[in-house]
Chains A and B, each alone.
Chain A
Amino acid sequence: MSTETSIALEPKRESLFSKKNRKLLTDPLDDSNPITVQVLGICSALAITVQVQQAVIMSLAVLFVMIGGNVIVSMMRNIIPDRIRIIVQLVVIASLVIIVDEVLKAYSPDISEKLSVFVGLIITNCIIMGRLEAFALGNKPGPAMLDAVGNAMGYAWILLAVAFVREVLGSGAISFPGIGQVKFLPESWFMANGGFYENNNLMILPPMALITVGVIIWIQRSRNRSLIEEN
């Protein structure tokens, strides 16, 4: 959490979409991206990026938990005893996650089955705890919500980008919730049917997620020189 943006409480009232607050939304997309810059939430970026549809669902779940967690903790920031604040944050996150899990089980059981382990992993998703501790505890609910949306989006686009690359190269298909997996290459192209193309099974395996994230970090830093640390 080297680049966390702890902003002190402003005495005077400012609009929710002031220039400073807009930065809360846009910064995590690039300059302080939770995955590529703060290197948080890597675990789920590796685990759940085999298919785009899983990444979409995971992103939505994280968005929900993040907004809920940030707003609730921000509203309670003045009454949370300092000594048990981490426990309170955990309780808030864990309850939200359990609710997400129960709702998925009831309304979308197939996705719930696929996500089973990962839904539990949201609880330990470092991005959520990190934002609660670094931002929500010191800011009003409005900015805290923007911060949550910003960070969840920053997380989501990396997740989707990685999932897109892995699914296209690894399965020769693209999937989306509600539509399912669509194979866009003609079957006759594949080697099994006498063609010339073969899916790269390596892309399905977790190490390629790490390498894909690495490539994204590389591209991002070559575009945005200010992110490069000086030794």
Chain B
Amino acid sequence: MAFNKNSNGYTFLFAILMVVLVGAILAFTSLSLKPLQKANAAEKKMMNILGAIGVPSERGAVEAKFIDFVKERVSIDSEGRKVSSMSGAVNAADAADPFNIDVQKDFRSKAPASELNFPLFSCKKEGQDLFVVPVVGKGLWGPIWGYVALESDMETIYGAVFNHKTETPGLGAEIKEGFFQAPFKGKKISKVAPHFAVVKGGAPTTEYSVDGITGGTITSKGVGEMVDRTMAIYLKYFQSAPKAQK
């Protein structure tokens, strides 16, 4: 070696070059794979929405099923007024499509609710009108989210799916399991606050609450909080929307 590879100058040069090079490679990988990853995320979202109304689906065949069951995609503002409505195929590039509203991003941005739009998926399954509401909130370690489907009376829960990013395995992470989600079915969203709650594991439940997970109290409370907070906005829409119209 002609140079001293342990000099300060060389060490700095090496570090700088390495960072620039590695940064460029990673940026390239990320950019070139982004379209595929986005398509996957959209598919997952459709699977979740179908999951909330109890329709099993798998990757690759989900889009046709989605169009089949989800008749109308509506976006509403925080006062419950209808902003836009779409039906038919999902257009991933169209920002006005309620399907493309990123509720997680909106939630993170901490913008006042009055500036945001909220998506609602109105579905028809076996002749029954169902409304799927996306919910997002905070667990113990990170974001949690889910989809809650309401029956045509707009207050009885038809089904719910939840997922999480980093909750504790075996405790909070159980919110994505069937045993936690199943009791939501048949419960009701109250017309007056609190609209819905997840109570401490084992505590008695009412018409408007379900049992939480023992040891996963903060995650369970997070689920209750996000359903309650989101439903407060959608209730305004449900109360103003004439039921016969659906």
Contacts and interface: CB of A to CB of B under 8 A. Distances in A.
Interface in B32-70: 33, 36-37, 40-41, 43-44, 59
A79 B14 contact: yes
A79 B15 CA distance: 11
Interface residues of A, number: 22
Interface residues of B, number: 24
Nearest to B170: A205
Secondary structure at chain A's binding surface: helix, strand, loop or mixed? helix
Given A81-B5, A81-B6, A117-B166, A99 B26 contact: yes
Interface in A108-165: 109-110, 116-117
Interface in B181-202: none
B98 to A, nearest CB: 23
A102 B30 contact: yes
A41 B25 CA distance: 28
A95 B22 contact: yes
A215 to B, nearest CB: 23
B92 interface: no
Interface of B: 1, 5-6, 10-11, 14-15, 18-19, 22, 25-26, 29-30, 33, 36-37, 40-41, 43-44, 59, 165-166
Given A83-B11, A99-B29, A107-B36, 18 more contacts: A78-B1, A81-B5, A83-B6, A84-B14, A87-B15, A88-B14, A88-B18, A91-B18, A91-B19, A95-B22, A98-B29, A102-B30, A102-B33, A106-B37, A106-B40, A110-B59, A116-B165, A117-B166
